Structure 1
Amino acid sequence: MSGEDAELLTIAQELLTRVWRDGRHEVASAVRTADGAVHTGVHLEGSCRRSSICAEGAALGAARAAYPGHLPLSVTSVVSVQIKPAGRFRVIAPCGVCRELISDYSPEAVVWITTVEDDVVVPVHALDLLPDKSRRAW
Structure 2
Amino acid sequence: MDQDLLDATVRACRELIARRYPDDDHHGAAAMLLADGTILTGTAPTAINPAVEVCHEIEPYCGAHRLDQPILASVCLHREPGGRLLVLAPCGVCRERLAVHGPGVLVAVAHRADPTVIVWKRLNEVLPDYWMIAFPDEVDPAWRS
- TM-score between both structures, scaled by the size of structure 2: 0.78
Residues 95 and 46 of structure 1: is their aligned pair in 2 closer, same or farther, counting only changes over 3 Å?
A: farther
Q: What's the % identity of the aligned pairs?
A: 27
State the match for 1:35 in structure 2. 36
Residues 4 and 52 of structure 1: is their aligned pair in 2 closer, same or farther, counting only changes over 3 Å?
A: same
Q: Secondary structure at the match of 1:86?
A: coil
Q: Distance in 2 between matches of 1:126 and 1:16?
A: 24
Q: Does the 8 Å CA contact 1:5/1:79 hold for their aligned counterparts? A: no
Unaligned runs of 5+ in 1: 68-72
Return the match for 1:93 from 73, 79, 89. 89
Confirm or deny that 1:83 pairs with 2:79.
yes
Return the match for 1:109 from 94, 99, 105. 105
Shift of 1:47: 2.3
Which AA in structure 1 matches 2:15?
A: E
Q: Secondary structure at the match of 2:57?
A: helix
Which AA in structure 2 matches 1:130?
A: L
Which AA in structure 2 matches 1:109?
A: V
Residues matched between the structures, number: 130
State the match for 2:128 in structure 1. 131
Give the structure with higher Rg (CA): 2
Confirm or deny that 1:8 pairs with 2:3.
no
- TM-score between both structures, scaled by the size of structure 1: 0.81
Which AA in structure 2 matches 1:5?
A: L
- State which drifts further: 126-135 or 53-62: 126-135
